[in-house]
Amino acid sequence: MMFRFIRNIGCLCIIVFIVFFIIALLSGGGKIRSIGDKTTGFVKKTFHYAADKADNIHKSVLKKIDDYGKPFRNEKRDPDNKKP
């Protein structure tokens, strides 16, 4: 019984991490921050912290895409801009 509970919690954590990473790659922390605004207290602070991390991941991915694409295009894309 206890091992099944631990396995279920571990699988849930992995699924939450994968969903967080996909949202961070695609849209940044805006969606995570909007969900966090609906909560209060410690949960709100945690969601805002996760949203900041998602923004950092999103900006670094856009920067890497821009760096790898330099030989193929002339214009520079702004990592702070929300449009790809």
What is the model's pLDDT at position 31? 87
How many domains, the chain?
1
Q: Measured between alpha carbons, how far is 30 from 23 in angstroms, rounded to an integer?
A: 9
Q: What is the span of the domain harbouring residue 24? A: 2-70
Query: Does 51 fall in a domain?
Result: yes
Structure tokens at 3: 């091992």
Residue 75 belongs to a domain: no
Q: Residue 65: how many CB atoms within 10 A of its CB?
A: 12
Straight-line distance from the first to the last Cα atom of the chain, in angstroms, rounded to the nearest whole number: 48
| Structural domain contains residue 32 | yes
Domain assignment of residue 29, yes or no: yes
Residue 50 near residue 32 (C-beta atoms within 8 A): yes
**Per-residue pLDDT, 68:** 81
pLDDT at residue 53, rounded to an integer: 92
Q: What confidence tier does 80 reach under pLDDT thresholds 50, 70, 90?
A: low
Q: 17-62, pLDDT tens digit by residue?
A: 999 999 888 888 888 888 889 988 999 999 999 999 999 999 998 8
Annotate 13-23 with b (16+ C-beta within 10 A) or e (fewer): eeeeeeebeeb
